Amino acid sequence: MHRPLFRVSAVLAILAVLAHPPLLVAQDAPRPQTTFLGLSLSGYLVSDKVFEEVYGGSGSMFGFAAAQRILGDRAFGLDAVLEIRGYSKTGLSTLSQTETILKIKPVSFGLEGTLTRGIAILWLGTGLDLTSYSEESALQNTTGSTLGFHVAGGLAFQPGPSFPLRLKLFLRWNKARVSTVDEIPVELGGPEYGASLLFGFRLF
């Protein structure tokens, strides 16, 4: 008694499926960006007391940043990161009040773990820093480099996995100890806070 109704329902269901092919084919999820290149701007404070007296408070640091996903997916991932930054500050020596220019150029290599929820990305990282420095004045010029490290973390925001732009906020602590001509240790590292604007694409 109900067979005709069943047959009609079955035919309508088949026609509905055939009329909507996406129901038969799984939709490809957006492919997340895996390579990011961009620029950063941050505030940098040399933590050594002597340098604080000579150069005052924090200065601005500009830089270039690159990141490449090496493990994981959009939800959980591990990125290899390269950053090149530059800092320049003018001050007066404590004794002669001679104008002095300090330049610090860290090159950072590190790893960052990421946790993505919606448009927000929580990340934490660490790595090694090769920090070059110079101090120039009418009295003398000093140059050198030192190997240190950093730890960093923060939040990033990206509207979608395939969206090409990412805003990254960070807080970093840098360690870069050097020795002066008198073998007095000086700490050129310190706290750093800022943001990066990154352009994403798929390199691999």
**Is residue 97 in a domain?**
yes
**Is residue 12 in a domain?**
no
Q: Confidence band (pLDDT; 50, 70, 90) for 51?
A: confident
Of residues 79 and 52, more confidence is placed in 79
Q: Tokens representing 12?
A: 């309508």
**Is residue 86 in a domain?**
yes
Instruction: Report the largest interatomic distance among the alpha carbons of the chain, rounded to a whole angstrom.
Output: 108
Q: Tokens representing 154?
A: 């923060």
Beta strands 185-187 and 165-175: pairing type?
unpaired
**Is residue 107 in a domain?**
yes
Is there a contact between 132 and 108 (Cβ–Cβ < 8 Å)? no
- % of the chain with per-residue pLDDT over 90: 50
- CATH code for the domain of 156: 2.40.160.20
**Is residue 125 in a domain?**
yes
pLDDT digit string, tens, across residues 4-36: 545 545 554 554 444 444 444 444 566 788 999
Q: Confidence band (pLDDT; 50, 70, 90) for 180?
A: low
- Distances 34 to 107, 149, 196, 198 between C-alpha atoms, Å: 22, 25, 16, 12
**Is residue 15 in a domain?**
no
Query: Which domain covers residue 46, as residue numbers?
Result: 34-201
Q: Is the pLDDT of residue 116 over 70?
A: yes
Into how many domains does the chain fold?
A: 1
Q: Which residue has the tokens 């701007």?
A: 41
Question: Phi first, then psi: what are they for 34, rounded to 5°?
Answer: -120, -15
